[in-house]
Structure 1
Amino acid sequence: MFVLDTNVLIHDPGATLNFEEHDVIIPMTVLEELDKLKTGKQAVAADCRQAIRTIDRVLGDATPKAIESGVPIHRGEKSDALGTLSILMTADPGNRHHLPDDLNDNRIINSLADLQARYRNRQIILVSKDINMRLKARGFGVEAEDYQNDQLVDDIDMLPVGYVEYAGSFWDSIEKVETIQREGITEHIIPRIDGLEKLNINEFVLDEQGFIARVVEVEEERLVLMDLHQNDLLNQQVWGLTPRDIYQAMALHLLLDPDVHLVNLTGSAGSGKTILALAAAIEMTVASKMFKRIIATRSTQGLDEDIGFLPGTEAEKMEPWLGAIVDNLEALHEDDENMHSSVDYILSKVPMQFKSLNYIRGRSFQHSLIIIDESQNLTPHQIKTIITRAGNGSKVVCLGNLAQIDTPYLGALSSGLTYMTERFKGFRHGAHLHLKGVPRSLLAEYAEAHL
């Protein structure tokens, strides 16, 4: 029996369907919490409503007695029922082995204790995203675990970084190569030998001799590499910005490629994620007219709660939360005679819109470049919500640092950024790159390494 906490249903509104042949139990306290949170425009309210609708769809017109004993879960019109879903009433106050009943968490744990007493031969597990809730449950004698259905990797170091680096020469390990030149492009067809079997589409190969190439075709036994010139990459200028290292150069190459519709940039604070995305966005919107507008969005705990109380229009409300965008605009124009006038001019001329996650649902953005800042704070469900808003001719750029997660129920392994990185690694029109170094300043670099 798996007993679900409220935060699991908010994290994944369809979680009740993901426990296969096992019995799923929703405590009455969880339904009450969902009921309190379901109203409003916050992103969490929409997730609560979706979770409630999923539970209602499974229970259907079952009788109260059937709901108490467990309703079979059908996951499709033609699928056989696997497992059951039931509602667990609140704990019996006459049972002395109880935690104080003043907190909802305690009520849920008390209900589990009653359930254990009733079904002594069954394994009963609390599923919660709240670490402290799991600790309390285990301390009380109830088995507890994290919700891991959308955790695709066991270790964050298993995530792809977007490139493979070779000491010396890359070609020393290659015995056979076929080189083709066409329309100014040089491509190398090589066998998929050891060390290259984990390379994905749109990842890079580079060595200490200055060779750099991008994987443009992945087959079972061979790879096709597009030869890139390191000097050209390092000397490219985008809205006055020149990359400081080869990793930034690779990122700009992906950002400017019209065939790459999703670019996912990760890296430590100050590695250049935001300024690279912003420079490329302005270049492709103002200069090349590839996109009609820039949509910048971000989700934080405080944003969902406070945006309604901040004064002004939606754009004015979003400004405190998207200050990084304005900071980087200033950095792009710091050498201008009047930096503030340049930034004001750009903001007036560039069709840039700051959007709250709350107002993105249900919309479709055509010919837009969508920048998702601080994407490590989004759940997999929220990431899907934003990316599915991208309409015809649009591009999505996700920026994040998995070491700086501010959401209490998310970790590096359960973050939507991790989920998306793993899910999209084989997508022909998607690319992921982890930026190295902290070029922000010598002070920032030292602090990142030593504090």
Structure 2
Amino acid sequence: MEQKQNKRFVLDTSVLIHDHKALEHFSEHGHDIVIPTWVVDELDRFKHEQGYRGVNSRKASKLLEKMEHDRRLRIEFRTSKEAEAAKSMESNNDLRIILCAKYVQEEHAGDTVILVSKDTNLRIKARACGIAAEDYKSDKIISSIADLYKHPKEVQIEDGAFLDKLLRDFNIVVDEWKELYGSEYYPNECCRFMLRDTERFALARFLNGKFHRVDKPQIPPKDKRREFASIHPINEEQAFAYHLLTAPEVHLVTLAGDAGTGKTLISLLAGAIQVKGDLYDQILVFRPNIEIGRSLGALPGTVDEKFEPWKQPIFDNLSLILRSDKELSAVFKKNGSKDKDISNAGLSMLLKSERIEISPITFLRGRSFNRKFVIIDDVQNLTPQEVKTVITRMGEGTKVVLAGDVSQIDDPHLDPISNGLAYTVARWQGQDIFGHVALQKGERSRLAELASKLM
């Protein structure tokens, strides 16, 4: 009988920083794990940092110490001496880790040795040295980016009475309409019901055995959009998003979409209206402080002043909302403000009244939030562990919105299916307090929409 080949995984530092529990994941599957000593050196160097890299380095080190007597875990300091160029290759830790994996491969010729790393270039160099190399896959629980961008479920129906009832009443009990089942519906799934051979349709959300009506968007003609002063959902995707954002029983909403699809604007609109209605005490917006293009270097001033450039996209969206609020406009006219100053005065008032707070994501750790409407922007640049940290900060009466565009990832160790946004969607689907919408139609301008598609 042929003996089953054993697998030995050599883990790179990037894996432990990305997921400090990676050691447990490999151990649970009965695999042998090798940690080069240079990985421990790098964890030691990063442990003093304040960000997620420092936190995960400290946690990974503690887990290494806890597991050091595990017979399947081995800390290795030896490297391959096979190549004459070995000494010249030992110029940096990446190459030392590769040579260590080469040594393990030579020592256990009958086993499959695999170097696991989040670093693409390290994997390429390892394969060039004859070592099998893989990305870390334990956090990739969706198979394709298409899983993030599924359209609302479309259901063809024969009976117009269903549409009439759904449009007339707020909800319909599913048991009364069993013939609609083409497949099972998961909680808060968005659906589009179309009456066969007609243009009639209705939008709905499924929850607790009922289809809840979703109000159709107000879609102005493109040449007359300037005449529509109020900010409101103007396509079906935005209508679904706004419905979930204002549904009190939904506590976590994820919005995935390209730039210009309205993720941040529709979230701020829903938050502002609900804070105004006293459903929440405050809007909190957290953003990663990641630059586009070349770094400007260290900025002068206080923390608030340093973070000012990252606040501007939120200010831009808030300005649009305030300009469309006639009641707010009337208040500022009474105070003598000119029309053109209304949005700036409104922003100043909101910030001074503490009804809205905009902060770097790094300031979230250790805080607890109750009765807040929390928006986390650019979540595609957060790791699954960071998103977990975010969500576990939330207390009673708080709604969390995670918005992001997986085509704009700036972290070299993340990809479209391993980032915090994709991970959250995959993990939370099926929970009755969670909803997800993919926004695919650009509304910022035709120029922006074409740029997103063509470039």
TM-score bin, normalised by smaller chain: 0.7 to 0.9
Instruction: Give the alignment of 1:98-247 within 5 angstroms.
Output: 98=86, 100-159=89-148, 161=150, 163-166=152-155, 170-172=156-158, 185-189=170-174, 190-191=177-178, 195-197=182-184, 199-206=185-192, 207=194, 208-217=199-208, 223-230=209-216, 240-247=230-237
Q: Matched residues in 2 for 1:279 and 1:231: separation? A: 14
Q: Matched residues in 1 for 2:344 and 2:160: separation? A: 56
Q: What is the aligned partner in structure 2 of residue 290 from structure 1?
A: 279
TM-score calculated relative to the size of structure 1: 0.84
The equivalent position to 2:30 in structure 1, one of 21, 25, 37, is: 21
Q: Matched residues in 1 for 2:147 and 2:49: separation? A: 38
1:315 paired to 2:334: no
Q: What is the aligned partner in structure 2 of residue 278 from structure 1?
A: 268
Q: Matched residues in 2 for 1:7 and 1:387: separation? A: 24
Q: What is the aligned partner in structure 2 of residue 396 from structure 1?
A: 400
Query: Are the aligned partners of 1:299 and 1:357 in contact in 2 as well (CA < 8 Å)?
Result: yes
Q: Matched residues in 2 for 1:175 and 1:257: separation? A: 27
The CA RMSD over aligned residues, in Å, is: 2.9
How far is 1:108 from its partner?
0.4
Query: Are the aligned partners of 1:214 and 1:225 in contact in 2 as well (CA < 8 Å)?
Result: yes
Q: What is the aligned partner in structure 2 of residue 249 from structure 1?
A: 239
Q: What is the aligned partner in structure 2 of residue 263 from structure 1?
A: 253
Q: Matched residues in 1 for 2:43 and 2:296: separation? A: 21
SS at match of 2:112: coil
Query: Are the aligned partners of 1:282 and 1:350 in contact in 2 as well (CA < 8 Å)?
Result: no
Q: Matched residues in 2 for 1:6 and 1:301: separation? A: 22
Query: Are the aligned partners of 1:29 and 1:108 in contact in 2 as well (CA < 8 Å)?
Result: yes
Query: Are the aligned partners of 1:262 and 1:430 in contact in 2 as well (CA < 8 Å)?
Result: yes
SS at match of 1:370: strand
- Residue segments in structure 2 that go unaligned for 5+ positions in a row: 1-7, 221-228, 325-338
C-alpha change, 1:193 and 1:137, in structure 2 (3 Å) is farther
Q: Give the helix-richer structure, 1 or 2.
A: 2
Query: Are the aligned partners of 2:47 and 2:54 in contact in 1 as well (CA < 8 Å)?
Result: yes
Q: What is the aligned partner in structure 1 of residue 350 from structure 2?
A: 346
The equivalent position to 1:33 in structure 2, one of 38, 42, 47, is: 42
Q: Matched residues in 2 for 1:392 and 1:308: separation? A: 40
Q: Matched residues in 1 for 2:32 and 2:180: separation? A: 46
Q: Matched residues in 2 for 1:274 and 1:353: separation? A: 15
C-alpha change, 1:107 and 1:176, in structure 2 (3 Å) is farther
Q: Matched residues in 1 for 2:447 and 2:283: separation? A: 32
Q: Matched residues in 1 for 2:100 and 2:267: separation? A: 49
Query: Are the aligned partners of 2:218 and 2:234 in contact in 1 as well (CA < 8 Å)?
Result: no
Q: Matched residues in 2 for 1:150 and 1:228: separation? A: 33
Query: Are the aligned partners of 1:268 and 1:403 in contact in 2 as well (CA < 8 Å)?
Result: yes
The equivalent position to 2:288 in structure 1, one of 294, 299, 306, is: 299
Q: Matched residues in 1 for 2:256 and 2:393: separation? A: 22
C-alpha change, 1:407 and 1:193, in structure 2 (3 Å) is same
Query: Are the aligned partners of 1:301 and 1:407 in contact in 2 as well (CA < 8 Å)?
Result: no
- Alpha-carbon deviations, 1:399-422, whole Å to 9, x = none? 101111111011111111111001
* Count of residue correspondences: 412
Query: Are the aligned partners of 1:380 and 1:419 in contact in 2 as well (CA < 8 Å)?
Result: yes
**Structure 1 stretch displaced more, 32-41 or 243-252:** 243-252
Q: What is the aligned partner in structure 2 of residue 331 from structure 1?
A: 320
How far is 1:2 from its partner?
0.3
Q: What is the aligned partner in structure 1 of residue 361 from structure 2?
A: 357
Q: What is the aligned partner in structure 2 of residue 9 from structure 1?
A: 16
Query: Are the aligned partners of 1:307 and 1:318 in contact in 2 as well (CA < 8 Å)?
Result: no
Q: What is the aligned partner in structure 1 of residue 226 from structure 2?
A: none
- Residue segments in structure 1 that go unaligned for 5+ positions in a row: 63-70, 73-83, 218-222
C-alpha change, 1:315 and 1:370, in structure 2 (3 Å) is farther
Q: Percent identity?
A: 34
How far is 1:165 from its partner?
3.0
Q: Matched residues in 1 for 2:268 and 2:111: separation? A: 55
How far is 1:93 from its partner?
6.0
How far is 1:228 from its partner?
3.6
1:439 paired to 2:443: yes
1:52 paired to 2:37: no
Query: Are the aligned partners of 1:90 and 1:107 in contact in 2 as well (CA < 8 Å)?
Result: no
Output the amino acid matched with 2:406: L
Query: Are the aligned partners of 2:381 and 2:411 in contact in 1 as well (CA < 8 Å)?
Result: yes
Query: Which consecutive aligned stretches of 4+ in structure 1 deviate over 6 angstroms post-superposition?
Result: 174-181, 231-234
Output the amino acid matched with 1:87: I
SS at match of 1:321: helix
TM-score calculated relative to the size of structure 2: 0.83
SS at match of 1:329: helix
SS at match of 1:397: strand
